Each structure stands twice: as C-alpha cells, then as structure tokens.
Amino acid sequence: MGIVSDNRPLVSVLTLAYNHAPYIRECLDGILMQKTDFAFEILIHDDASTDGTADIIREYESKYPDIIKPIYQTENQYSKRVGISTTYQYPRVKGKYIAFCEGDDYWIDALKLQKQVDFMEANPHVPCCFHTVDIYQENTKKYTKGFIPSFLKYSSKEGEFFTNEDRNEAWFAYILAVMYRSEDIEYLNEQREKYKFTFNDNHIIYYLMKDKRAYFFRDSMAVYRKNDGGIFGNKSEEYKLSCTYNISKELYMNEPDVYTKHQYQCRIKEILKFYINNGEYQKAFKWKKNHYKDLNKSYLYICSKILLNLFKKRK
C-alpha cells in the first residue's frame, strides 16, 4: 500500500462507481494492495448508487481515510449529462500522475503503479503508458488473457512504443491501463470543448498520443469486466452501435487522420453487418446508401452482392 505521509500523493487513482456493489470491494482491494515507495490517493465518485455501493465505499473510507477520498451523489449526475470527471474528479487531483480503475474492474499486479511511475519518471517526454489487460466476461464466467499487439508479440522486449495508428490493429489500449501526467488535464479539457458529452475514454487516449508515441508493457496488470451493467446495460444493441458510431464520426470530423478514419469506417461496417444479420435489409440498403462515400468500393460491392442474394432468397 502507498506510503501515507503529509506529502502530496504522487498518483491520483480515479474511480467511477454506479451500482457496483458486487464488484467494488475487488476494485478497491486491487488498488490498496499496491506496493509503492510513494503515496497515492483514490478519488472515488459514487453516482447515487441504489444497490449499497456507497455503504461499501464508506466502510473502506473509514479504514483508509488518508487514501480514499469519496464523493457521494444523492442524484445521478450522468443522467443529467454532467461530465463527471471534468466536474468532480479532475479538480480534486493532487497527484503528478493519473490512473483509472472503474468500480467493476480490478487490478491484479501489486506493482502496477510502481512500474508505470518508474517508467514515466525516467521518460519525461512520453505522454502516457499502458499495459496488457485481461478480459472477464461476467455472464459466461470466461476469463481471457489480454491481447498482445503485433508490435510486441514477436519481440523479446518487456515493452514497446506505439502510435495511434497502431491501435487500428485491435482494441488493446484501455483507459483501465493508462497512466498520464495530471499537467495534461487542461489540454484534455480544451479538446473536450469540441465534443461536449461525447468525449470518452478513446478521446482521452487519442489526444494524449496525438503525433506522439506511448509505451505498452507486456505484463498483464488489470482485468476489464464485461457485464450487462453500466450506462448501456438495458439498451438495445442497435442503440449501442449508434452511440459508438456517432462518437467515432465526431472524432473523425474533428481530427481526420488514418486512425480516426479507420475507426469511423469500422463503426459503419458494424451497423451494416448488424442490419444484415438481423434481416433488416431495407435498413441495410439505406445505411449503405447514406455511407457510400465513406467505404471503399470493394467492400461496397461485396455488401451489395450479399444484400441482393438475400433479397432473392426471400422471394
């Protein structure tokens, strides 16, 4: 556990919690087990949970009052479209570095913070660093080891530098794994003004790494929990896809480059595939027509052939 002293914490760990009662203990225990030669703080925001999450946080707060700094909302702020990190979390940060752990995720390496801080201290010109993240599917109880990107997979090194463009290979740079400098908060907030409510984790990572290289540790140090909870828990698949599409589109419109274009095209394809797989061919044709200029001709040709064949089969 981090050394508690009168000195300012070197790291601020930001935790957002909402109805995470089954998971919040594992989340907090994973942070509190950190073995460091510096102090750290846990800034936790409970967004008016209704399942007892706040009571569990209060229990931990009473045991670790010098580390755990909570905010307990009485009304849900997310539903009011309040930017929680900007409004409640960032203004409280005292650390030189920022790390994240959502209330339903957890850390599994007791040296996670120490490893990342040591790297950041030794590399002042690197904007941020990440590590491998394992995936736990709550519904199926399936645990999957984290994805190792190709720039590191065939390397003997313990870590490697990468760019935003490298992220087009797969989703491996999680906000759960990032560490960056708190001095970048102002810069991120300036970028946030372009997006209002749609400035999410991917935007943070994108702007931290824009025109720069970040570092990726091979070590798996945390677990991302996939479940039916969270902000999209009771929403339809079409709604979820629509949200991610709109977010990717807005990022691409503001920052057109190889990474944002690829992500935007992927979101278009996901929705087109969704309509085809669900037999909603009229929607698929309309969607393809509306995004004709955004997709390459070979992909459009294949989709058109598939849709025509499906229509013929229906007749």
pLDDT at position 224 is 98
Statement to judge: residues 197 and 270 lie in one domain? no
Query: What digits encode the pLDDT tens for the residues 23-79?
Result: 999 999 999 999 999 999 999 999 999 999 999 999 999 999 999 999 999 999 999
Q: What is the pTM of this model?
A: 0.89
Statement to judge: residues 165 and 256 lie in one domain? no
Within a domain: 6: no
Statement to judge: residues 180 and 242 lie in one domain? no
Within a domain: 204: yes
Using the 3D structure, point to which of 172, 205, 226 is the last residue of a domain.
226
pLDDT at position 234 is 60
Q: Which residues contact 277 (CB under 8 A, 6 or more apart)?
A: none
* Total domains present in the chain: 2
Q: Which residues contact 202 (CB under 8 A, 6 or more apart)?
A: 247, 251, 263
pLDDT at position 197 is 60
Within a domain: 245: yes
Using the 3D structure, point to which of 226, 250, 277 is the last residue of a domain.
226
Within a domain: 1: no
Within a domain: 5: no
Statement to judge: residues 182 and 52 lie in one domain? yes
Statement to judge: residues 306 and 188 lie in one domain? no
Within a domain: 4: no
Statement to judge: residues 196 and 251 lie in one domain? no
Statement to judge: residues 115 and 137 lie in one domain? yes
Query: What digits encode the pLDDT tens for the residues 64-114?
Result: 999 999 999 999 999 998 989 999 999 999 999 999 999 999 999 999 999
Give the CATH number of the domain where residue 121 resides: 3.90.550.10
Within a domain: 50: yes
Statement to judge: residues 220 and 244 lie in one domain? no
Using the 3D structure, point to which of 193, 226, 259 is the last residue of a domain.
226
Q: Which residues contact 200 (CB under 8 A, 6 or more apart)?
A: 247
Statement to judge: residues 241 and 216 lie in one domain? no
Statement to judge: residues 150 and 282 lie in one domain? no
pLDDT at position 4 is 43
pLDDT at position 229 is 56
User: Helices 237-254 and 201-209: crossing angle, nearest 10°?
Assistant: 30
Statement to judge: residues 208 and 263 lie in one domain? no
Domain with 143, as residue range(s), is 11-226
Statement to judge: residues 30 and 127 lie in one domain? yes
Within a domain: 219: yes
Per-residue pLDDT of the chain (315 residues; tens, 9 = 90+): 554 445 799 999 999 999 999 999 999 999 999 999 999 999 999 999 999 999 999 999 999 999 999 999 999 999 998 989 999 999 999 999 999 999 999 999 999 999 999 999 999 999 999 999 999 999 999 999 999 999 898 888 899 999 999 999 998 999 999 999 999 999 999 999 998 667 899 999 999 999 999 999 999 999 999 986 555 556 788 988 999 999 999 999 999 999 999 999 999 999 988 988 888 888 887 888 888 777 766 565 556 666 666 655 565
